[in-house]
Amino acid sequence: MSDTVIVIGGGVVGLTTAVVLAERARRELRVRVWSRDPAEGTTSAVAGALFWPYRIEPAELVDAWSLRSLREYVALARDPEATGVRMVAGVLTGTVLAGLGSWSRELPELREARVEELPAGAGQGLRGRVPLVDMPAHLRYLERRLRAAGGSVERRTVGALAEAAAEASVVVNCSGLGARELVPDASVHPVRGQLVIVENPGIEEWLVASGEGAAGTSYLFPQPFGLILGGTAEEHAWDPRPDPATAADIVERCAALRPAVRGARVLAHRVGLRPARPRVRIEAVQLPGGARLVHNYGHGGAGVTVAWGCAEEAARLAG
């Protein structure tokens, strides 16, 4: 047991953390991921997933986490077929360069957008090339990388942290929304995101148009499997079922930005419950019986963006 680490949670945060632990240990540790769902059934698989620090605190730590993760994704984008990571150009409205973290200086093409590059009605925005991740492909890549480092992924539902502590000297809690009951931590809550996947009518660049309210931000992300249209950000909404009226509104908002979307054949509807918390929790505590517990959860809508930075912090705390 002294040479075993169990990571609870098989989404992008859990798998990335397990990869960092296994590769650092050089097979001196047995790293096991316990996940209730297969990777394709996790919230991470539903993510857009554009690299950008979105709805996540604390800002003073997010910058460093994002910078570390960005460097990893840029490297992974050299082999997009294997990793699912591509560097893709696009526009984000309602944002200026001033005030962005140090991570933004790692993106040489990131700049203020010209008026003609912005959608109608947008007064300001940024244009640049950033990582865009095909999440189903990326999760498969992380699982392969973990196994290559000697780790494993097991389908297992965890009812209590003590279950993992009985089999490992270190437990890393990357349970996302599940931390609400598992820890328990009542501050963890869902931010419901609904999206629509359509046949891509030829859109090659991503677009994020910021707005107000739960359904205010619209986005289009071209992925190999189709064009992702979004989205919503409904606080404390637990329903995992796609709502037809919401889907129709998403398509209409995106068609207003890119008319080519209108009439595109719908391939799928998706809903993800982002695991939000006032602040990301990364800390180590001692469990009864002596096992070390490292928390790494509460990343909201930015789990992909900070995954590698948070994984390294969690690995450091794991000892």
Q: How far apart are CA 137 and CA 314, in angstroms?
A: 24
Other Cβ atoms less than 10 A from the Cβ of 152: the count is: 14
pLDDT, mean of residues 213-221:
79
Using only C-alpha atoms, the chain has a radius of gyration, in whole angstroms, of: 19
Q: Judge whether residue 286 has pLDDT over 60.
A: yes
Note the pLDDT of residue 2. Answer: 74
Other Cβ atoms less than 10 A from the Cβ of 119: the count is: 15
pTM of the model: 0.96
- 132 — alpha (psi -120 to 50), left (phi > 0) or beta? beta
Band the pLDDT of 319: cuts 50, 70, 90: confident
Q: Report CA-CA distances (Å) from 127 to 82, 91, 116, 206.
A: 27, 4, 11, 10
Which of 3, 11, 21 lies closest to 44, judged by CA? 11
Summarised one tens digit per residue, pLDDT across range 43-90 is 999 999 999 998 899 988 999 999 999 999 999 999 999 999 999 999
Q: Judge whether residue 215 has pLDDT over 80.
A: no
Q: Which two tokens stand for residue 86?
A: 């591509």
Q: Judge whether residue 214 has pLDDT over 90.
A: no
Summarised one tens digit per residue, pLDDT across range 158-170 is 999 999 999 999 9
Q: What is the mean pLDDT of the chain?
A: 95
Cα 212 from chain centre: 22
Domains of the chain, CATH where assigned: 4-87+130-187+277-318 (3.40.50.720)
Phi and psi torsions of 88, nearest 5°: -125, 140
Which of 272, 276, 268 lies closest to 193, judged by CA? 272
Which of 170, 173, 167, 193 lies closest to 185, judged by CA? 173
Burial 17-54 (b: 16+ CB within 10 A, else e): bbbbbbbebeeebbbbbbbeeebeebbbbbbbbbbbbb
pLDDT, mean of residues 214-232:
90
Q: Judge whether residue 121 has pLDDT over 90.
A: no
Q: Judge whether residue 11 has pLDDT over 80.
A: yes
